[in-house]
A and B are shown apart, each in its own frame.
Chain A
Amino acid sequence: MKRNKIVSLILVFTLLFVLVSCQQSNQDLANNKDIEEQELNTEGNTDEDIKQDVDSHTETSYPLTITDFYNREVTIEREPKRIISVAPAITETVYALGKGDSLIARTDFCDYPEEVASIESIGGLMDPNIERIVELEPDLVIAGAIFQKEILEKLEEAGLKVIILNEEQSFDGAYFVIEEMGKVLNAQEEAAKIVAGMKATVEEVAKKVEGRERPSVYFVMGFGEWGDYTAGRGTLIGQLIDMAGGKNAADDVEGWEYSLEKLIEKNPDHLICSISDNHREQLKEAEHYKDLDAVVNDRILEIDKNKLERPGPRLAEGLREIAEYLHPDAFK
């Protein structure tokens, strides 16, 4: 009997030890992190000295405090040199701003530009690998709003700086992402250039398609056994079709579902489909789709879907491609 009691007591004490000491670890880690940061701060001065004589209007001065999508105030001490991007649009923007060298990790879904293939991936958009992110010790983690709150908390617990950007699917959303990142990464001039360029393209397209007859266009998101999907009214792609001088055949629905019957009834002039999914060939074989006027006459535009979905630097390019396809004579 006595031995049982001793064994039980030992077990209970071990359990208590473990739990108590693990409480401590959080505290200690926080303290250690502060010490580390203080040591690093003294090294940062030289960079700022060099930047003195450049026009202070376009240079980001650090430390910089940003309010992100979740209304968190994040303070960035110095220009981030090790960045992890957790969204394809953000990755594209990093490269477009000329800061590709600072990118140390990205997601499985980041595929543009080609250079990202040589950079390691830390998983998906919603479930990136926390261990790997912490191990890489980035200066900054930039993510989109789809990021899980719990993962955000975990990374903050680790002392990492995380910014969540609102990736609104629209041109304004793209401008916002580019400009914010320009600020954060000290590439404001570059960012302004990109945004100006995109706005110029948008204006040019608008002028060139003004007053022209709008052909009906249907975007093929998905078809076949799993249902028929398109970009309805209110989606970014729907907006792009409209801006490019077309009429979205699916603008009588909001969202992504469409009915095959309606599609056949509408018999759109043109179809747009995604290159990567190899839809064009499949459409020519697909039941009902192969009988559509647009398919029979091969009036199908194949385009990189990512240019139409990612609120980033290539959005204007996507718009231009659609416009040039719909109104080729306007762009000669």
Chain B
Amino acid sequence: MGFIKKKRIYKYFLILALIILAFVVIISSTIGVADISFIDSLRIMVSRVPLVGTLIDSDGIRQSYYFIVLNVRLPRILLSALIGVGLSVVGSTFQSMFRNPMADPYILGISSGASAGATIAIVLGFGGIIGGLSIITLFAFIGAILTVLIVYNIARVGSRVTTLNLILSGVAVGLFLSSVVSLLMFFNRDDIEKIVMWTMGSVSSATWNKVRILTPVVTIGSMIITAYARDLNAMSMGDETAKSLGIEVERVKKILLVVSSLIVASCVSTSGVIGFVGLIVPHTIRLIVGSDQRGLLPFSAVWGAIFMVVCDTLARNLIPPSEIPVGAITSLFGAPFFIIMLYKNKKKVI
């Protein structure tokens, strides 16, 4: 079946996936360390919906519970979902763009750049907060963006850049920055714990402010990338092939790089380096939906969100009151899941 015929089925499945996402979000906000009953959590959330809210009797629920559900849990759930979307979309994009199934959002050294930025901020003692974002987050973001610029400029020839050079440059710069981080950690022994905790990734300090900032970046960025889905399909067959199909390869590459970098830089600077999502989610979806980015991108986005929300819920509830870093959970649960999927679909992959 061609994509056009599949389109209808996909649309239904996509809406179904979105509904599942909504369910997962709502159910996750009822689960937590604080002992808030399921019904109470639902009542708390519904009471915030403008019209329906007034119909719900919400007496007898403590103020602190309102705060916990609405301002502690919900922001971090939404933040996880956004990160899931961002990382999956960029992962899928990079896999097509670099024609490399092992490509993940951090292949251009963005994560190392963000880590280096954050480490410098921590080591210099910048713990403050400006405009709702911690200085560490800002430094991480700047680090990530600077890294991409450096990587791009090392790899380019005039105004063109080959994907191979980008990968090589990204790997080299990334490794260099990692060693910088290690060195900084060595000379600042007292800060090691802070640095490592930041790197491992956590959404525990999520705020509505962060959600508000990340939402436009991720949603608009993802929409832009999705608009280039067909171009990505062509590019995955090689630059020459794509050009002969009428794609402006260099221009598309630049746009996708810029948008992807912004998405990943934003995600990493707010939550640390959460690995695995960008690599595995697109592959898993690919086993179900196929390699056509027109279906792959939207589904990766939604399932990436669901995956992240589930992982975050596990991370904060498995061993209360401690929290396992989300990155550990994504690898721990993502890997077996992917192996199972791969096993079942081995023949398809050939």
Contacts and interface: CB of A to CB of B under 8 A. Distances in A.
Contacts of B33: 129, 131-132, 135
A222 to B, nearest CB: 11
Interface string A206-243: 00000000000000000000000000000000000000
A7 B16 CA distance: 13
A19 interface: yes
A127 B66 contact: no
B321 A134 contact: no
Contacts of A203: none
Contacts of B36: 135
Interface of B: 11, 15, 18, 32-36, 48-50, 53, 62-68, 70-74, 127-129, 134, 189, 193-194, 197, 202, 204-205, 207-208, 212, 215, 316, 320-323
Contact of B70 (A11, A22, A132): A22
Interface string A139-174: 000000000111101100111000000000000000
Nearest to B219: A15
Given A123-B321, A123-B322, A131-B33, A153 B129 contact: yes
Contact of B204 (A7, A127, A134, A158): A127
Interface in A110-126: 120-124, 126
A25 B207 CA distance: 13
A23 B320 CA distance: 29
Interface stretch (A28-36, A75-83, A302-310): A28-36
Contacts of A150: 129, 134, 205, 207
A17 interface: yes
Contacts of B323: 123, 127, 129
B212 A19 contact: yes
Interface residue tally of chain A, by bracket? 35 or more
A224 to B, nearest CB: 17
B255 to A, nearest CB: 24
B215 A135 contact: no
SS class, residues of chain A in contact with chain B: helix
Contacts of B66: 25, 29, 32
A137 interface: yes
B208 A26 contact: yes
A151 B76 CA distance: 13
Contact of B321 (A122, A153, A256): A122
Given A24-B50, A134-B67, A135-B68, 9 more contacts: A22-B208, A29-B67, A123-B323, A126-B194, A127-B323, A128-B321, A131-B33, A132-B321, A150-B134
A46 B67 CA distance: 30
The list of the 9 closest CB pairs from A to B, nearest first, reads A150-B205, A129-B321, A135-B34, A131-B34, A131-B33, A21-B48, A123-B321, A158-B67, A25-B70
Given A148-B205, A149-B128, A154-B207, A131 B134 contact: no
A130 interface: yes
A307 to B, nearest CB: 20
A282 to B, nearest CB: 22
Nearest to B63: A32
Residue from A128, A148, A151 having most chain B Cβ neighbours under 10 A:
A148
Nearest to A23: B208
Residue from A4, A24, A25 having most chain B Cβ neighbours under 10 A:
A25
B194 A17 contact: no
Given A17-B49, A132-B34, A135-B65, A127 B202 contact: yes
A49 B248 CA distance: 81
Contacts of B63: 29, 32-33, 36, 159
B64 A135 contact: yes
A255 interface: yes
Contacts of B70: 22, 25, 29
Nearest to B53: A21
Contacts of B11: 4
Nearest to B317: A131
Contacts of B35: 135
B205 A154 contact: yes
A256 B70 CA distance: 44
B68 to A, nearest CB: 5
A127 B74 CA distance: 18
Residue from B18, B49, B70, B215 having most chain A Cβ neighbours under 10 A:
B70
Contact of A129 (B48, B53, B212, B320): B320
Contacts of A20: 50
A158 B34 contact: no
Given A124-B322, A129-B321, A22 B74 contact: yes
B197 A126 contact: yes
A108 B320 CA distance: 12
9 contacts: A4-B11, A21-B49, A29-B66, A132-B34, A134-B68, A137-B62, A149-B129, A151-B204, A153-B207
A149 B64 CA distance: 21
A8 to B, nearest CB: 11
Contacts of A11: 18
B186 to A, nearest CB: 9
Contacts of A132: 33-34, 320-321
Contact of B193 (A126, A131, A149, A151): A126
A149 B71 contact: no
Contact of A149 (B134, B215, B316, B320): B134
A33 B62 CA distance: 11
A29 B34 contact: no
A32 to B, nearest CB: 6
B77 to A, nearest CB: 12
Nearest to A129: B321
B142 to A, nearest CB: 18
A121 B321 contact: yes
A238 to B, nearest CB: 15
B231 to A, nearest CB: 23
A136 B195 CA distance: 29
Contacts of A4: 11
B72 A255 contact: no
